[in-house]
Structure 1
Amino acid sequence: MIVCLLAVLLAALLAGHRAVPNVHGFGSLLDSATPLLGLGVPLLGLAALLRRSRRALAAVLLPTVVWAALYGGAWLPPAGGAGPAAIRVASQNLRSGNPDPAATVDPLAGSGADLIALQEVDDDDRVDAALRQRYPHRAAVSTVALWSRWPIRDSTGVDTALGWTRALRAVVAAPGGDLVVYVVHLGSARAGHTATRDETLAALASTVRHDHAPRLVVLGDLNTAPTDRVFVPLTRLLRDAQADAGQGFGFTWPAELPVTRPDHVLYRGLTPTAAGVLRTPDSDHRAVTASFR
């Protein structure tokens, strides 16, 4: 009986997690952790087997089906567009105080990325020395920066209501025409303290909504999981490269054992051909990558 009850509760939580009130950010935290609730399914299945209960096993099918309907598609072969990639991007939170940022960015350059977006850059000289030969064009504001193989025709800081500028907008002369690139590091979110993050995400969504560039990508650490209800304003405006052309959840944090994905490549006006995650040294985040045509 207990296993059946827990199975029904788990299925209800999976299906209705966004109905849980977002008091002190609890609902947002639950949204972010929802994909991991699937770990409860094998535990309940094991309990049902130990009890030798067919009724309990049948009950465990309910959360299994709900989880598969919500997240099983992430593990299917990616449905990215066919054809060679024309634009490759990578984004990395370097980690403030990184002892060797040059070592962190080296795998990004080695991935063949044409554009590299970085957050928590507090040692421009070492990073620039590692990248400038392959990426001669650079735009930076505060602790976010963009390195590009192609000319950057314009760049400006972007106000995300953080109190200090921690985002930029650049116009890159990419193949096929101008590409608008946002490099963003939104406000931090902690258990019970998501208000700053929520305000910065709403500000970014408003900025993107009023940006009429036909080809646009947002790269960065948004401190928001794609399953979080506060992420919806952005998903109404942009597509998620990992969801469209990657495989799996694409978790990036913490780097040693990722359990969530605050790092994103969002886009419009392009066709993704691939997306994924790249392990890099000396950072507490893994990098995200994507290719487009």
Structure 2
Amino acid sequence: MSSGSRWLSAFALAVAILLAGHRLVPAEGIGTLLDSVLLWSGLIILVLIVVALFPGRRPVLAVLAVPLVIWLIMFGPMVWPKQGSGTAELRVISQNLDAANPDPCGALRELGRDSADLIAVEELTGRSEGCDMDLPHQVRKGTVALWSRFPITGSTPLELGLGWPRALRATVTTPRGAITVYVVHLPSARPGATVDRDAGLRALAGLLAAEPPGPVLVAGDFNTASTDRAFDLFTGYRNAQREAGTGFGFTWPAAFPVTRPDHLLSRGLTAVYSDTLPARGSDHLGIAAGFISRAATGN
């Protein structure tokens, strides 16, 4: 094996070790960043495979099979197409509107035309006061709001450790019974600066774990990538994109999405589809999913 092939093999094994052992890196600091970008190692593996196809480097392909298999085990299920069963009983949208949105009222009106039953909106500002959409019920707490086709029978602002409301909990009475709905906007996370975000996630996870039996829906901007280990906190809750979406469903930045901080989680519900929506002037794409009751699927 040539010197170049040995270096290529060593690099491939380093990628494999990083994939397999990334959870050993502490979450504080670089761990969260690593969790967020690790799926992009698939591109590195593809480049290495192309390089290994050159004459004299074919033996490296056997070594490259190691990181490739690990990557497929970790991220393959997120890529494969999923076919949900049944027709959605509850259609849900979540949109980070963006405080700098040039036309927040227009964006809200467009969201209201998307035939959703519940629309969660984050990052509302004073410029959106008085804006509305074609849904009869609405509650707003701080910078988040929920519009509903069905009556909202109670709501509570949530601080999630921030000192001001950036989340809410509401009860929505649907034709199939009451659903607890959370609309959340977690603190921002940056490399080496995730303390507030992590505290907010723990606070939210504690609230969700304490919810009494019954369907629960959580919608919003978690500022947390789909692949972040922080999602281990939400035991018993399903991610709609993982359950019924195809691909990674990236939502940010809207111009060229490379990660998915926006999520729809559920308990007692089954997602039958999950998709992204136009940005409508925001720096985030919107997300949408359809749900049926878990009892209807027998799961």
TM range (shorter): over 0.9
1:240 deviates by: 0.5
Match of 1:64 in 2: 68
Q: Unpaired runs of 5+ in structure 1?
A: none
Query: Who is 1:74 aligned against?
Result: 78
Alignment of 1:181-192 (within 5 A): 181-192=181-192
Structure 2 SS opposite 1:271: strand
Which residue of structure 2 aligns with residue 244 of structure 1?
Answer: 243
- The TM-score with structure 1 as length reference comes to 0.94
How many residues align? The count is: 286
Cα 1:127–1:2 shift into 2, 3 Å: farther
Matches within 5 A, 1:127-142: 127-128=131-132, 131=133, 134-142=134-142
Q: 2:107 aligns with which of 104, 108, 112?
A: 104
1:51 Cα deviation from its structure 2 partner = 5.2
1:165-205 CA-to-partner distances (Å, cap 9, x unmatched) read 21100101112100110000011101110000000000000
For the residue of structure 2 that corresponds to 1:237, the secondary structure is: coil
CA drift at 1:105:
3.1
Q: Does 1:17 align with 2:22?
A: yes
**Partner amino acid, structure 2, of 1:13:** L
Matching residue of 2:59: 55
CA contact (8 A) 1:143 1:166 kept: yes
Aligned residue identity for 1:172? V
Instruction: Give me the whole-angstrom Cα distance separating, in 2, the residues matched to 1:107 and 1:84.
Output: 24
Q: Secondary structure at the match of 1:184?
A: strand
Give me the whole-angstrom Cα distance separating, in 2, the residues matched to 1:137 and 1:50.
62
- What amino acid does structure 2 have at the position aligned with 1:63? P
42, 45, 52: which one aligns with 1:41: 45
| 1:280 shift after superposition | 2.1
**Is 1:160 paired with 2:160?**
yes
Residue in structure 1 matching 2:120, options 117, 120, 131: 117
- The 5-angstrom pairing of residues 136-285 of structure 1 reads 136-234=136-234, 236-285=235-284
When structure 1 is superposed on structure 2, of 119-128 and 88-97 the one drifting more is 119-128
Deviations 1:19-39 (A, max 9, x none): 11234x210110011111111
> What does residue 8 of structure 1 align with?
13
Give the secondary-structure state (helix, strand or coil) at the position aligned to 1:291. Answer: strand
2: distance between equivalents of 1:213 and 1:153?
A: 18
Q: Could you tell me the TM-score, scaled by structure 2's length?
A: 0.92
Q: CA deviation at 1:70?
A: 1.2
1:16: how far off? Answer: 1.6
**Structure 1: distance between partners of 2:45 and 2:268:** 39
After superposition, the C-alpha distances for 1:13-64 in whole angstroms (9 at most, x for unaligned) are 11221111234x2101100111111110111112212353122121111111
Determine the C-alpha separation between the residues in 2 that align with 1:103 and 1:205: 34
Instruction: Quote the RMSD (CA, aligned, Å).
Output: 1.4
* Percent identity (aligned): 46
Contact 1:92 1:288 in 2 (8 A): yes
Letter in 2 for 1:87: L
